Chains A and B, each alone.
Chain A
């Protein structure tokens, strides 16, 4: 029970909500957060794709350095970085161990390190870009580059509805626990308790499916009354909504600096 209780303490509803708001709106005043979303998308288009096709150590090292600097600039929360590092080490380590089983030796190390560097460049680029944009900015940016209005509506809807959805789920879950009977013994590795909780977690979706169905009908009817379904992809509405997006000197400066830096690194890589 102890383990389960700790788990559910950690998952307290308030905690989740606070954590969500923190990741969404925690860092709105960094330099990167003030850039236009389109600038960030173009920047990401390069750094998210190109590393896959580069096999030069110096080049990759230079890119990694740049990514680390931008990640620091974006003031990403340490938790996300920690999770990323854990994942990278885990994957690399697994590959290393299993390739030893197939008769590999230490020469496996070098390609694996390169692969890890590539993956970290790409992950850091996406963290930099998407953590420094708050949800409104991201949805405006996505709308601007041509995604349908439903997507940006869904992002807004998600942020609005999630707290009440979590609360409702929590209530259903608790009532299942109240009416049900917890296993008397935990079993080895608490397997009985784990099975019990997982089963309840899935069963709780049955009432939730029905109530959410009603809610989504209400939502769509409200949208219809306001003409939103028509307005989602209407160019004039879009134009008014996206008026505030402007590419300024800041954006040009950032892109120009990135290009200059990459050219510089290419030069160095070419010399050696």
Chain B
């Protein structure tokens, strides 16, 4: 009995299995959705954004963290690198947002047989992901355009367009490609797919610790994301951004340019020294091991 009450644990190779499964399947689906054309009806976009049901299903059935990271990596590798569309830093943002969304969805479900929980989890995943990407897109225009408030209509239009896409994605992709297929797949796969990976199905007795779900990392990232959201909200309410730019930028444009150049150089130098340090450390390690 005591074994049953132990929290849900996977061995290292089982984690790797979940990771590979999630990566290859979501990667494959990503390649398919990248190749299928989009349909526009005016501003309405009827595209298959993503087959979100695959990672959500896997995160509900297995360990959410490994399913989430695997899916995000699969998207980057199959959908971007292999199609020659790898976008560098942009991928980082997608990676974080998507992993977070899937992880939250997977941790929400206590009992995979409960349709209510599964449905809520599926919609949560889409809402979290789309909300983060909306915030990032708005932020890009905010940072990218100088004196945004001074340009009539631009700020509102950005928010309206992104908000519209947000709702469009939630109602279209969210229901059709996340909610319905997840509700179909989870009960069918539950108890069937786990033995193939050599593990027991998740059940009510093998729950996660609450402490496992509400990790400091999750809390921290949630707080950071929420504060970022509020920050942009705040900027739109006040003219703080715009006034600062005007008072400062006029005379000190050169200073600003050299300042940003300096910051960039600083980042580069820090990175290089960090790489070099790490290299030295790595070279040290084997010797230390021998010494021990």
Contacts and interface: CB of A to CB of B under 8 A. Distances in A.
Contact of A100 (B87, B153, B256, B272): B153
Nearest to A21: B82
A113 to B, nearest CB: 11
28 contacts: A16-B31, A49-B89, A53-B260, A98-B157, A99-B152, A101-B153, A103-B153, A104-B151, A104-B153, A108-B151, A111-B154, A114-B144, A114-B145, A115-B144, A126-B87, A131-B84, A154-B23, A158-B27, A158-B78, A166-B28, A198-B48, A202-B53, A205-B51, A212-B25, A213-B197, A217-B196, A224-B13, A266-B261
Contact of A208 (B25, B83, B146, B286): B25
B189 interface: yes
Contacts of A169: 28, 32
A201 to B, nearest CB: 7
Nearest to A100: B153
B189 A209 contact: yes
Contacts of A157: 20, 23-24
Contacts of A56: 253, 257
Contacts of A18: none
Given A49-B89, A80-B84, A239-B282, A165 B24 contact: yes
A214 interface: yes
B81 interface: yes
B25 A99 contact: no
B21 A216 contact: yes
B19 interface: yes
Contact of A229 (B12, B156, B188, B272): B12
Interface in B138-164: 140-141, 143-148, 151-154, 156-158, 160-161
Interface in A115-135: 115, 118-119, 122-123, 125-126, 129-131, 135
B153 A154 contact: no
A145 interface: yes
B87 A95 contact: no
B157 A217 contact: no
Contacts, number: 228
Interface stretch (A28-36, A40-48, A65-73, A176-184): A40-48
Interface in A47-67: 48-50, 52-56, 59
Interface of A: 7, 10-11, 16, 20, 23-24, 38, 42, 44-46, 48-50, 52-56, 59, 77, 80, 83, 94-95, 98-105, 107-108, 111-112, 114-115, 118-119, 122-123, 125-126, 129-131, 135, 138, 145-146, 150-151, 154-155, 157-159, 161-162, 165-166, 169, 198, 201-202, 205-206, 208-210, 212-214, 216-217, 219-221, 223-224, 229, 235-236, 238-239, 266, 269-270
B28 A165 contact: yes
Given A150-B19, A208-B25, 14 more contacts: A20-B83, A23-B83, A42-B271, A45-B268, A55-B249, A94-B161, A103-B153, A115-B144, A157-B23, A162-B78, A208-B28, A214-B196, A216-B20, A235-B285
Nearest to B196: A213
B198 A217 contact: yes
Contact of A213 (B157, B193, B260): B193
B4 interface: no
Contacts of A24: 82, 84
B260 to A, nearest CB: 4
B154 A99 contact: yes
B177 interface: yes
Contacts of B82: 20, 23-24, 135, 158-159, 162
B144 A209 contact: no
Looking at chain A's contact residues, the main secondary structure is: helix
Interface in B262-292: 263-264, 267-268, 271-272, 275, 278, 282, 285-286
Contact of A80 (B37, B74, B85, B177): B85
Contact of B188 (A162, A206, A214, A220): A206
A186 to B, nearest CB: 14
A101 B278 CA distance: 54
B138 to A, nearest CB: 12
Nearest to B62: A213
Interface in B70-97: 73-74, 77-78, 81-90
B73 A154 contact: yes
Contacts of B267: 45, 49
A115 B35 contact: no
B120 interface: no
Contacts of B90: 126
B252 to A, nearest CB: 12
B88 to A, nearest CB: 4
Nearest to B46: A194
A50 B261 contact: yes
A112 B141 CA distance: 9
B54 interface: yes
A108 B264 contact: no
A47 to B, nearest CB: 10
